[in-house]
Structure 1
Amino acid sequence: MTQYFLTMPHDSAEEPTMESMQAFDPAEFEAVIAAVGAFNTALKDSGAWLFAGGLNPPSTAKTVDASGGDVRVRDEPFVEASSYVGGFWVIEAVDEAAAVEWAAQASTALGSRIEVRALQEAPA
């Protein structure tokens, strides 16, 4: 089976965090958390779940560059963008259509768009 990276974008201007999301309407926030929990359970029950996580915003990033011999560490993301990956799942699916179906379920749970990308296979 192929592994797929399902990502949830966030708006860079807003940089939502778990703390800032506490300001959302409590009932709506609770409903999203429950929907994502149900989605995660469905992934696990199906055997598609590998792992998932939420990411802190780009303003917390460090970019490390040792390509020139010296190690340089910058307190910044490696790229500026209007949106960024705020959370992700790595799943296994029999094909892209199955991965897209999981992404559709994630999109419904979150009320957000989801990107689907296959992980590269190891060279033979």
Structure 2
Amino acid sequence: MRYTFLLYSDPAMAAGMTEEDWAKSKEIYGQYIGALQEAGVFIETDWLHPADTATTVTLAGGEKRVQDGPFAETKETLGGYFAIDVPDLDEAMKWAEKCPHVHYGKLEIRASAMGSV
């Protein structure tokens, strides 16, 4: 079963990070990715640019609307994701608890709906 971990955090937390802080963070996430790969559950991951660089598009109501920035103004924004392949939600939760992100942000777990609807 494919699960996606959506990583949310307050972008203000990153504002004061030094190059050394970023290097340490990349090392910690690299170790987590390595553990996922070694376990054979890793599918993919991505790290997103800040939400204020987003463009939101909708055709709802038949009219095209384009908005600079994220869909909603919130304190916590989506910063990245991991996709993994594990047997069930219990196993996904075990991997979520090992993700470095849970120590300073929120991690939302969603099962893939492809093939089930």
Q: What's the TM-score bracket when you normalise by the shorter of the two chains?
A: 0.7 to 0.9
Matched, 1:78 2:71: yes
* Matches for 1:1-124 after TM superposition, within 5 Å: 2-12=1-11, 14=12, 16=14, 20=15, 23-24=17-18, 26=20, 28-107=21-100, 111-112=103-104, 113-123=106-116
Offset at 1:37? 0.5
**TM-score, scaled to structure 1:** 0.77
The change in CA–CA distance for 1:93 and 1:77 in structure 2 (over 3 A counts) is same
Distance 1:68 1:110, change over 3 A: closer
Give the AA of the match of 1:122.
G
Alpha-carbon spacing, 1:6–1:123, altered in 2? closer, same or farther (3 Å): closer
The one-letter code sitting in structure 1 at the alignment partner of 2:80 is: G
CA distance in structure 2 between the aligned counterparts of 1:99 and 1:66, rounded to whole angstroms: 34
Alignment coverage as a number of residue pairs = 116
Relative to structure 1, is the Cα distance of residues 121 and 42 closer, same or farther in structure 2, using a 3 angstrom cutoff?
same
Gaps of 5+ in 1: none
DSSP 3-state at the match of 1:51: strand
In the superposition, the TM-score normalised over structure 2's length comes to: 0.81
How many angstroms apart in 1 are the aligned matches of 2:26 and 2:42?
18
Instruction: Measure the CA separation in 2 of the matches of 1:64 and 1:104.
Output: 33
**RMSD of aligned Cα (Å):** 2.4
The separation in 1 between residues aligned to 2:85 and 2:40, in whole angstroms, is 8
Q: Which runs of 5+ in 2 are unaligned?
A: none
Pick closer, same or farther for the CA change 1:15–1:80 going to 2, 3 Å.
farther
